[in-house]
Structure 1
């Protein structure tokens, strides 16, 4: 074998399109199963009532300040039960901006993965500033209003 044709020591061959498809289906299936288990648990656990066994927000627990994601569990519960108005009241920014953004990213990842391609979501510096700015304004506004 010609020394120029040898792969460097420790080099890993790029995965094939079929391997990427299999991994995408496997990860999507695990995510769907985990999400379904979480949804079944949340369906029977009303976060609007005190004393439920749910993960508390660490920021609210330590400081009393609502973070931009506070209300997300209540919002998910209300969406599972078809109450969009109450879900909007629980966290309007997360419902109006976060859910569609997550749906876009997951859909793009699935589309690319099932075609045998990698998908790496990237935000520019401006995109990061916009996301962090929206989160900061939302956090300040909801803590000032109450």
Structure 2
């Protein structure tokens, strides 16, 4: 039997695309926001990604600035994984993860400062 793990990225991307078509499909609420009322660094990122996968970049950016980036990464990962028949077609180094975490946390801190410090609407209201 042939291994088909390389199809996982395309499956994940497809599921998010379908979620964008049908936003009423269930998802997982953010536990930090549910407990504290404060959105976490990835709050609204799923919605932003689904909007970007639908081609709605403006709406995606209103939810989370990283939505189009995540959508592009998912599409690229899906294509490369299928082409190379490997789940991880390129190596991910520690510095990649650190850079992504720093960018995400920096963006989150700016949004927190704008929203709770200056009273500006930096997080979507739904």
Question: Relative to structure 2, which stretch is displaced further, 56-65 or 77-86?
Answer: 77-86
Residue 70 of structure 1 deviates from its aligned partner by 1.3
For residues 101-126 of structure 1, what are the alpha-carbon distances to aligned partners after superposition, in whole Å with 9 as ceiling and x for unaligned? 2222222211110xxx6745432232
Instruction: Measure the CA separation in 1 of the matches of 2:66 and 2:13.
Output: 25
Q: What does residue range 1-146 of structure 1 map to in structure 2 within 5 Å?
A: 22-24=2-4, 28=7, 32=11, 35-36=14-15, 39-40=17-18, 42-45=20-23, 53-76=26-49, 78-79=51-52, 82-95=55-68, 97-113=69-85, 119=88, 121-146=90-115
In structure 2, runs of 5+ residues without a counterpart are: 116-126
Contact 1:93 1:138 survives alignment (8 Å) = no
1:81/1:67 Cα in 2 relative to 1: closer, same or farther (>3 Å)?
Answer: same
Q: TM-score, normalised by structure 2?
A: 0.64
With the length of structure 1 as denominator, give the TM-score of the two structures.
0.57
Q: 1:78 to 1:125 in 2, by over 3 A?
A: closer
Larger radius of gyration: 1
5+ residue gaps, structure 1:
1-18, 47-51
Q: CA RMSD in A?
A: 3.4
Q: Report if the CA contact (8 A) 1:72-1:94 is conserved.
A: yes
- The answer as to whether partners of 1:75 and 1:90 remain within 8 angstroms in 2 is yes
Q: Give deviations 1:30-83, integer Å, cap 9, x for gaps.
A: 9539935x654553435xxxxx85421122112222223211243245446653
CA shift digits 1:2-49 (9 cap, x unpaired): xxxxxxxxxxxxxxxxx6xx433x76289539935x654553435xxx
State the distance in 2 between where 1:40 and 1:59 align: 26
